[in-house]
A = this chain, B = another copy of it.
Amino acid sequence: MTDQLSATLSALADPTRRGILARLATGEATVKELAAPYEMSLAAVSKHLKVLEGAGLISRSKEAQWRPCRLEAGPMRDVAGWLENYRRFWEESLDQLEVYLAELQKGDPGGSKN
């Protein structure tokens, strides 16, 4: 799992980490603040932050004894870009569903035109 895209997807695959990102979308926050909504220990959240930082999804600054985190959405752009390769497939399948539904409504006159 050495490549960047894998690291990003893997970081995003955890609901706790996605929750942290959602919180950071509203602005910077300290580790303690980020940990508040979760029942797990602060150490566990700290590890999640390390994963997110490793994937480049957050950055951390220093401010006295606090280490405020901020969202860095750059890597998500890469994911979105990769997904674009497949957009036509999920749109296509919608199209096919629409075609199917249309055929149903017409009473299927000529059902299989392929």
A residues contacting B by CB (< 8 A) are 1, 3, 5-6, 9-10, 12-15, 18, 21-22, 25, 71-74, 76-77, 79-80, 82-83, 85-87, 89-90, 93
Contact = CB atoms under 8 A, between A and B. Distances in A.
Q: From DSSP, what is the main secondary structure of chain A's interface residues?
A: helix
Contacts of A89: 25, 71, 73, 76
10 contacts: A1-B15, A3-B15, A9-B10, A9-B13, A13-B13, A18-B82, A73-B93, A76-B83, A77-B90, A83-B83
Q: What is the copy number of this chain in the assembly?
A: 2
A15 B5 CA distance: 9
A86 B79 CA distance: 11
A36 to B, nearest CB: 21
A80 B88 CA distance: 12
Nearest to A76: B86
